[in-house]
Amino acid sequence: MNSPVRRSLQGKPGKLARCSASVNGHPMNLRTILILGSLSAFGPLAIDFYLPGFPAMASYFGTDEKHVQLTLAAYFLGLSLGQLAYGPVADRFGRRIPLLVGVTLFMLASVACAFAPSLEWLIAARFVQALGGCAGMVLSRAIVSDKCNAVESAKVFSQLMLVMGLAPILAPMLGGVLVSTFGWQSIFVSLALFSGACLAAVALGLPESMPATTPRQPLSGALGQYLNLFKDGVFIGHALTGGIAMAGMFAYVAGSPFVFIKLYGVPAEHYGWLFGMNAAGFILVAQINARILRKTGPAFLLSRTVWIYLAAGLVLLAISGLRTEALWPLLVPLFICVASLGCIIPNASACAMNGQWARAGSASALLGCLQFSVAAVAASLVGVLHDGTATPMALVISLCGVLTVGLSVLTRRAQARRDASLQTA
């Protein structure tokens, strides 16, 4: 047999690598990618956009920023739990209806946040907002899986990273302007308007993507679907590889304000530029990744890039232990760590989603849940280990690098065993 499937099983550079060969393989147009990118940005946008409003919200509700941070915890909880609910629903009813419902819920919850009379109300509304925002994150991945093979999926995920990567660059700056000009409520009004525009785009320009030949999975089998996915070592391996790599990103997000502003005296207004520089590196690598995938394949690129991530993380840890007075020695390996994620995350997602066409919704949901759950733990760990230096952030990032490499190696071995069994079948 010399089909694309057989060639993909060989995993050689220049072929489709080890996680390709979809039966659909339809390219996606620019309009669809922009819509899916906007939907994928719901999660990071609703986080980064409102961070500048923390002091204003604390003053408005007569509390401190520590209690306002509960609104962020509620959002993370909603993101983790909500994704598990959307997966089985999408596999039963298709992608379009759950997506319309979720975006509508996000829009209404954003309005509720803007008019929250108390902090408790805001916390509850943020949880509901996350439940709605999950739809865009879960179903955008499922739609890509419906339409593309693994190589095309990785390219599309890299293009989606361009839209998602703009959120941490633009959102804090725009959020700060809105808070200082119109008050913190304007942030949530803006999110409501943005989600309203996305709702119209989905309703008018995004048809159902689930193939008619794909069997509709009953909701009663949702638990069984998740259990089967947990038993799929290749899926879980790729999902955790991307999730732990993303955890390193969240460790950086959690630790960088203290390291840059408090430890090295970077003015608060300049922090956004440093943050944006690293985000730009992430976007640049994601776009390079999209251009070279056809020649190498996502599995090949993933297996190489994790080592770059690990090496940069270990250098970062070593430099943090030197307690240098200058910031730039830390910035260089940190930039490489963040930039390398522009290759690791989309390729790991594409490899995990490959072959999951009949249960793409559930697979996407579990993938997202694992990513945000592990990332939340990493961000919390940076706070727990806080000792007044850059070491806790560097330690968590380097630990994520070690685990990412280990998982990547184990997953490639599991994939090789699966390929061998298919060749002899």
Residue 126's nearest CA partner among 105, 150, 157, 99 is 105
Look at residue 16 in the predicted model and tell me its pLDDT.
37
Q: What is the pLDDT of residue 186?
A: 94
Q: What is the DSSP string of 165-180?
A: HHHHHHHHHHHHHHHH
Give the model's pLDDT for residue 211. Answer: 64
- From CA 153, how far away is CA 27, in angstroms rounded? 9
Burial of residue 208, with CB atoms counted within 10 A of its CB: 0-12 exposed, 13-18 middle, 19 or more buried: middle
Tokens found for residue 184: 């913190």
Torsion angle in degrees (nearest 10) through CA of 421, 244, 174, 34: 0
- Find how far residue 114's CA is from the centre of its chain: 26
Query: What is the secondary structure of 275-321 as a DSSP string?
Result: HHHHHHHHHHHHHHHHHHHHHH-HHHHHHHHHHHHHHHHHHHHHHHH
User: CA–CA separation, 231 vs 50, rounded Å?
Assistant: 38
CA count, 13 A, side-chain hemisphere, 214:
27
Q: Which residues contact 109 (CB under 8 A, 6 or more apart)?
A: 125, 126, 128, 129, 131, 132
Sign of the Cα torsion 401, 406, 407, 408 reads positive
- Residue 115's pLDDT is what? 96
Query: Tell me, what's the pLDDT at 268?
Result: 62
Instruction: Name the one residue in this structure whose structure tokens are 């609910």.
Output: 85
Series of mean pLDDT values for 10-residue runs along the chain (425 residues): 37 38 52 85 81 82 80 82 81 85 96 96 95 87 77 76 69 80 93 95 84 63 80 92 90 80 77 80 87 85 96 96 89 95 90 78 81 80 84 95 96 86 71
Cα 120 to chain center, whole Å? Answer: 27
- With beta carbons less than 8 A apart as the criterion, state whether 142 and 90 touch: yes
Euclidean distance between CA atoms 303 and 201, whole angstroms: 37
What does the alpha-carbon distance between residue 79 and residue 402 come to, in Å, rounded to a whole number?
26
Tell how far CA 296 is from the center of its chain.
23
Dist. CA 351–CA 301, nearest whole Å: 11
- The pLDDT assigned to 12 comes to 41
C-alpha span between 144 and 350 (Å, rounded) = 9
Contacts of 21 (CB under 8 A, 6+ apart): 4, 5, 8, 149, 150, 354
| Domain 28-424 superfamily per CATH | MFS general substrate transporter like domains (1.20.1250.20)
Residue 42's CB is within 10 A of a number of other CB atoms, namely 28
3-state secondary structure of 189: helix
pTM of this structure: 0.72
For the chain, domain boundaries: 28-424
Burial 390-400 (b: 16+ CB within 10 A, else e): bbbbbbbbbbb
| Rounded Cα distance, 150 and 354, in Å | 6
State the Cα–Cα distance between residues 279 and 261, nearest whole angstrom.
Answer: 18
Q: 3-state SS string over 242-269?
A: HHHHHHHHHHHHHHHHHHHHHHCCCCHH
| Tokens describing residue 159 | 């293009």
